[in-house]
Amino acid sequence: MPPSSEPTRQSLTKDIYTTTDEYDTLRDRFLRENESTYGYGGRIDRIREEEFPTLKGQVYLDHAGTTIPCSSHHRALYDDLSTHLYGNPHSQSPSSSLTQQRVTAVRTRVLRMLGVDPGSGAYDVIFTANASAAIRIVGECFPWQAGSQYLCLREAHTSLVGVRECALAVEGATVRMVTEEEVEVMFPRMDNAMSHENPRHETAIGADKDRIGSVHERDPKDARTGPVLHRNADNDAHMGWEPEHGTGPKSLFAYPAQSNFSGTRFPLSWTNRCKRRHPGTHMVLLDAASFCTSSPLTLSNTASHPTACTPDFVCMSFYKLFGMPTGLGVLVVRPEAARILRRNYFGGGTIDALAVDSPWHISRSLPHERFEDGTINFLDILSLDHAMDAWERVFGSPAPSISLFSTRDADTFRAISTHVGSLTGLLVEGMRGLVHGNGRPLCKMHLEIKDGEKGEDGRSRQGSIVNFNLRREDGGWIGSGEVARLAALEGIHLRTGRFCNAGSFQRWLNFTAEDMKANFAFGKSCGDEIDIINGRPVGAVRISLGAMSTVDDVLHWLRFLREYFVEGTDERVTAEPAEERKVVNHQEGNGIVVSDLVIYPIKSCHGYSIPHGKRWNVTPRGLLYDREWMLVHGESGVALSQRKFPRMTLIRPRVDLEAGYMITEAPGLKPLRIPLDSAIGEKVVDGPLCPSKVCGDSIPIVRYMDPEIATWFTMAMGGVACTLARHPADSTSSRFVKPHLLAERERQAGSDDGFDRLSPLSLSNESPFLLISERSVEDVREKMRERARRGGEEISEEAGRTAGFRGNVVVRGLDRAYQEDGWRRIKIGGQMFEVGYIFLCSFFALLSVLGCGHGDLDPYNLFDDGRKTGHTTMLRILSRLLPGFAVYSLPSSHTTGHGQLPPSQSS
């Protein structure tokens, strides 16, 4: 949405982004102006301290993923299970009867929470594994036939979109993915307001007969054993199922009450308007999983109630509402709607009678009895009861409920909605107020908010979710992965990606179906680390608030955005014009030299500095023997990482080319000699080729089976059962330099030289070579010393040195810190390299070994603090050898010395 269409009311956060005092001013002002809506009557700080101790020192902004359970919930559940005996509810014992009573009580409580009188029979509660499982029941059991139509809002969760496959499996059924505007046309607020047909807006799926396929009925003669069975007409009549030719084809309209991507709330009145427009033929499935996290929902025909609606099916997951139980969802269904659902399968506990040698059975009558297959998750249902108790006790209003059928559970969510709404307003205002020095907004917000627009209930149409991407001062995009990595360093929890909502992603980031297919062909898939392709973001950032969120969470987030991403307001570093970013050769007097070459023979272990004057082979995968070995778990074969096992930094391998051995050392152990050539030595026996993974890529490795090697590394790792594995240099590698790095690199350069992009990798994360400058590292060390002095701490002499950044090439002689950010190509020892960048992982593991272990002293964090040029958390990579200077099939005699840069220039 362009800035001109955003709200124009006076901003609380304008010009308040510089100092802690100014943030305190904003905090005080917010508390004064939201005294009646924020904080549950002043209780929020006590609530956080007593009920959510795990949030101390953390900024949790992923409540749309799951909220956090109360501590009192844990204790109450433990006490309950410790003092009561609960049996299988299908049995008739006293313990089973107790379970049945409790489950029935919770089922009733869920209805009351949704404003339903349990005695009315208007709805029934079917417990499922989660919201997706509830949706699947509807999709697979709906009576699709020729003429049926599945209408689904484009901005729906993947689980709703997946129902279309159930419809398309039936010949003659069609699917329409519709926009909000199209729904308003189809189901107008007044029957005579406008025609509900608008062919110009229709996007039909399934019109092609070949795409739909046909329904094949199995020939009875195909049965291999037993009698030929036919559908059970007795059970159809018992359940009141209508013949398919009865009232005509049934259609289904499905949509979310709130988008899990953007937080947009869609009209609840669509449920009634759809059925009023198409009585007897159209049914409505409402996905309330996102909406109910911070808003009350009322299933009622009460016209005066702003959130009242009467969908046929409603689904939700309780972990999103209460944090736990995590394995419990619900399908709330009208009994009339449940009668049209036709099941081909029945499970234990869902039938009243059954004959095995005849196709005859009688299903149970109530919807939950027919659809809860087998033994229900009764302990999670008991946990749900305690969750609702805890939520009511912690967040509920002391005032009694005024609704006849609503309980304090519903009142609790009204209080939560008010609290979260005030914080969402502050969050959106603050993010919109962040601008670069040239006036360009930092945040591209994916929001539905329009000036003055309110929902049907009189509240903002924006829920507690905020989705966005960040832009640099020059207009370039900041990858969502970069934001996530930096946020993690600051103790901020958020989510990035497409959030299982392709329709919203396509809408807000302007991607067509063809774009999505092209991205997949490029290598993009759900859950990977690719965040920019061809200069366009292929993922977004989502933050979301919850019942226990505070104003300090929001202000910490705003401060984080400003300190890490706002450019042009800090004069410590100024960007140079591109044409001035050149590395001049040593003979011309700038004195830039290669001061160190380092390899890391065993991935994640200590590096080996190549002695000065020694020549070393360069291969297409990197320096010879760099990251060629790895440690893997003794049983599972999973690769060990320094992040989980900091002791790996104490293992020091070195390579003796003349003797043909890698020698490994560790405290308290004798050196271990491992032949570089696996054929050398009688004790070393290579195991079979087996798969492992590095950064999500599957690779072939050979595990060493010699017990002496396994024992040595297990002892070096403090008892963690592991052994050594090797990724042979002559193996056919499936790993290459990450294409998104090259694409972003070329976008910044504004050109494409057309060279081969598939530079191979060994076990390195993203690039075969890594470069770091001593000047930049010294700037980091100075910041570490300064912060340590302010905190009354000391850091070890080793902390923050160049070895900690795990670079292969260390350069000396730069005029200033971070000068290497402007390099594009560099020649070293006759080799020309293209220069790119990579993102760094957390430094916490190495810090714990070096003696400075908290985030304020994290060198990666400080690396960014002095680098305000738009490329945060990165080191320079020599991403590939360029053709014409060194081809991939290098002769074994081709070597590279080090000591100074040769007579050449880098652009």
- Catalytic residue numbers, as ranges: 500
Residue 846 has φ and ψ, to the nearest 5°, of -70, -35
CB 722 within 8 A of CB 640: yes
CA–CA separation, 4 vs 604, rounded Å? 50
Kindly state the tokens that stand for 180. 């909000």
Q: Which residue has the tokens 């609960």?
A: 86
Nearest to 902 by CA among 497, 587, 495: 587
CA–CA separation, 298 vs 406, rounded Å? 9
Query: Which residues, 6 or more positions from 54, have their beta carbon under 8 angstroms from its beta carbon?
Result: 68
CA–CA separation, 811 vs 772, rounded Å? 6
- Burial group, residue 700, by CB count within 10 angstroms (0-12, 13-18, 19+): middle
CA–CA separation, 512 vs 506, rounded Å? 6
CA–CA separation, 272 vs 334, rounded Å? 14
Among the residues of 219-298, which ranges form H helices? 233-239, 270-277
CA–CA separation, 591 vs 180, rounded Å? 63
Distance of CA 321 to the CA centre of its chain: 19
Distance of CA 632 to the CA centre of its chain: 27
CA–CA separation, 825 vs 578, rounded Å? 13
Nearest to 143 by CA among 161, 164, 118, 170: 170
Compute how many other C-beta atoms are within 10 angstroms of the C-beta atom of residue 236: 14
Kind of pairing between the strands at 608-609 and 536-537: unpaired
Length of the chain: 907
Kindly state the tokens that stand for 468. 């966005």
Query: Which residues, 6 or more positions from 437, have their beta carbon under 8 angstroms from its beta carbon?
Result: 473, 566, 567, 568, 569
Kindly state the tokens that stand for 173. 């059924």
CB 548 within 8 A of CB 50: no
Nearest to 538 by CA among 518, 558, 509, 560: 509
Nearest to 315 by CA among 373, 264, 260, 273: 260
DSSP state string for 660-692: TEEEEE-TTS--EEEESSTTS-SS--EEEEEEE
Residue 794 has φ and ψ, to the nearest 5°, of -125, 150
ω into residue 188 within 30 of 0, thus cis? no
Instruction: Extract long-range pairs of 222-230: CB within 8 Å, 24+ residues apart.
Output: 226/357, 227/357, 229/359, 230/359
